[in-house]
Chains A and B, each alone.
Chain A
Amino acid sequence: MEIEKYRRYDEVSGISFPRSIIIVTVIAVVVVAAISAYAILLTQPGKVSGKIIAFVWEDYTMPEVADNFTKLYPDIIVEYSIFTDQPEMFTKLKAGFKADVISPCVDYIPSLVKAGLIQPIDPSRLKNWNKLFKDVREYPGIWFDGKLYMVPTDMGSETAVVFRKDKVSFIESWMDVFKPEYKEKILIIDDPRLGIVIGAFALGYEDPWNLSREDLEKIKEFYRERRDLILGFYESDLEVRDMLASGEAWIAAGPSPTIAYWLISEGIDAGFTFPEGKGTSWFCGMSIVKDAQNLDAVYTYIDYIISKEVELYFAEEWLYSPSNEEAYMEISPEVRGWLTSPELFQKLIPLTEPPNIDEWLEVWEEIVGG
């Protein structure tokens, strides 16, 4: 009899289970059901709630932005996923990465619309929409066939040269960045477009977005000849700031002037320049992914991002020129001097996608790989 009992438990399956397993299972089911019921009761009808996935630049995950949203909207859970450049964002979305809201720049909107990755936005669902500058709201690059595809959040400049004034004499031309005396102290942005544009600036190309394969090969050769001078290719603003602050790097080609502002705030003698007046400008915002499910929560999140408080934070801390007029009016004069002025914005080359982006990506990989 005993033998039969053990055989039943040890050698066969499906029909009987020890009583203890059944009891534990029942308790587990009851506990899960109770928690679910409690969660449902907590959710008030009519209140926006649920989870959304924000696939964004790292800036949006700062506690001042992310935590404050959670305080204001405790029923909406935002799960963040970060991208470091737009090709990465585009590639992941194309590969089926699930997200509800993304933070592209205007140069990628045509590709995103063409690939069917984002959906039209209804601006009437955003309380702060009319608080944005009129010119910004009507910017042609964000509208396609009369439909809005990006809610503009901010604009600025990049492809600057940020340097340690205590280590580097003033930089006048793009070639000055690659002087032999700065050997292994130079950082280059790891972005196919900006990295190649820097090479194009150094080689004197007037229109860096129209480069033939031959031009790209020249830029590759330019970088190869100077590989020993380069310390590395950086991916994020925080990384470049840390390396300049520690003195491991003296010059960074590619970041925005914000990095210099941060370094100066930390007591480091830093500066920035757009050598020969050449640099790029950007204009970014928020878009809704095609298959986003919880649209109420997504609109709430976007509306929060373009609110005065958030825009003011990004202006004061990150030196992004805000789209929100009320935020712009409240920026301190000291910070306003650091923002990308309309004159500078006009002078810089807008960030765009070159027609032969495939070749750019391949060449950049060869440059980074050495």
Chain B
Amino acid sequence: MNRLRSLRWRIPIYVLYSIPSIVYLTIFFYIPIMMIIVYSFWQGGPLYKIVRVFTLENYVRFFTDELSRNVLIWTNLLALLIFGIVIIIAYPIAYFLARMMKGETGLKIILLILIPLEMNYLIRIFAWRNILGESGLINSTLLSLGVINEPLTMLFHSIYAIVIVAIHNDLPYAIFPLYITLKSIPRSLYEAAMDLGSNRLSVFFRITLPLSLPGVAIAFLFIYIPTVGEFAIPALVGGKTYLLGNLITRGFLDIGNWPFASAATMSILVLTLIAMFVVFKLTGMRWLYR
């Protein structure tokens, strides 16, 4: 009895605290991931045909099939484009809030920028339908101002709509990490550079930009990776646009070819992890992959 008691006394409390999260992650994350990995190496076909025999066929098909290969390339390019545009828009905003605003004002404005994220993701996408549609806000305004005679159709049910909606959704995820990194650059560095004869442009490219790259890397993590797997935005505003997320959801739900859909999922996971490590290495965040 005494021995038992002494054993129990030796369990550190942090182990006890970590049990719920370990159990949760194991059941809802690690086990499903393991199942997806296993499925991806089984033979399969439409309508839930699964033969529990090891094969690499699903991966070979994913990288060689014309449809999935094109979708893979196209989705990655689109995700990079969205990430690039978001950074171009977010950087000046974050810079202004971090370097130009005094005191806590910048942080207060950041909180205002984050408020839309409290709204349901799907509702935000649906709201764009009312803005971009043929009788939506943009077309109505342009028509009433006489700028256009016919409603612009390219704004909705198109790739442009996906880019616009994705940028709106992703902007806070770029502004916030950029603000943090820009805010944390010591003012003394700027003063020292100026004392040594640097002009504003030189200070930006030699101090501000390099030191803010970790913020860019975090924004990449928050934007590029979810965009590669995005399926709600293309489905709701993208018209016939077909991205990787759609290929996977349709593979699981409509076609029922789980092994192929699992292989596609794992391929994306690996590719995004590689992309993430490359970006982190380039931006100097070595501690993450050490």
Contacts and interface: CB of A to CB of B under 8 A. Distances in A.
A166 interface: no
B255 A365 contact: yes
A13 B258 contact: no
A178 to B, nearest CB: 14
Interface stretch (B7-15, B107-115, B219-227): B7-15
B254 A85 contact: yes
Interface stretch (B22-30, B45-53, B98-106, B163-171): B45-53
Contact of B13 (A13, A90, A92, A192): A13
B240 A91 contact: no
B8 A15 contact: yes
A62 B156 CA distance: 28
Contacts of A88: 253-254
6 contacts: A94-B48, A231-B240, A232-B157, A248-B156, A361-B254, A362-B255
A3 to B, nearest CB: 15
Interface in A70-109: 85, 87-88, 90-92, 94-95
A361 B255 contact: yes
A92 to B, nearest CB: 7
Contacts of A231: 157, 239-240
Contact of A247 (B46, B134, B239): B134
A196 to B, nearest CB: 14
A2 interface: no
Interface string A113-146: 0000000000000000000000000000000000
A55 to B, nearest CB: 13
Nearest to B158: A184
A263 to B, nearest CB: 15
B10 to A, nearest CB: 7
Nearest to B256: A91
Nearest to B240: A232
Contacts of B239: 231-232
Interface in A36-60: none
Contacts of B255: 87, 91, 361-362, 365
A358 interface: yes
B47 A11 contact: no
Interface string B244-284: 00110010011110100000000000000000000000000
Interface string A145-168: 000000000000000000000000
A248 B134 contact: yes
Interface string B207-232: 00000000000000000000000000
B256 A95 contact: yes
Contact of A87 (B5, B45, B240, B254): B254
B8 A13 contact: yes
Interface in B67-86: 67, 71
Given A246-B133, A357-B47, A94 B256 contact: yes
A248 B256 contact: no
A14 B8 contact: yes
B190 interface: no
Interface residues of A, number: 34
A274 to B, nearest CB: 25
A203 interface: no
A193 B199 CA distance: 67
Interface in B1-59: 5, 8-13, 15-16, 45-49
Contacts of A338: none
Interface size classification for chain B = 20 to 34
B62 interface: no
Contacts of A362: 46, 255
A10 interface: yes
Nearest to A233: B240
A114 to B, nearest CB: 12
A215 B67 CA distance: 19
A261 to B, nearest CB: 23
Counting chain A CB atoms within 10 Å of each CB, the highest count among B135, B156, B240 belongs to B240
A230 interface: yes
Given A88-B254, A366-B67, A15 B134 contact: no
B133 A91 contact: no
Contacts of A90: 47-48, 256
Interface in A337-370: 357-358, 361-362, 365-366, 368-370
Interface in A4-34: 9-15
B153 interface: yes
A11 B49 CA distance: 52
B242 interface: yes
A335 to B, nearest CB: 30
B13 A11 contact: yes
A92 B242 contact: no
Given A11-B12, A246-B135, 4 more contacts: A12-B12, A91-B254, A248-B156, A369-B247
B256 A12 contact: no
A95 B47 contact: no
Nearest to A368: B242
A227 interface: yes
Contact of A91 (B8, B48, B134, B156): B48
B45 A358 contact: yes
Contact of B47 (A14, A94, A246, A370): A94
Contacts of B11: 12-14
Contacts of A87: 47, 254-256
A91 B67 contact: no
A184 B253 contact: no
A356 to B, nearest CB: 10
Interface string A245-257: 0111000000000
B160 to A, nearest CB: 13
Contacts of B67: 365-366, 369-370
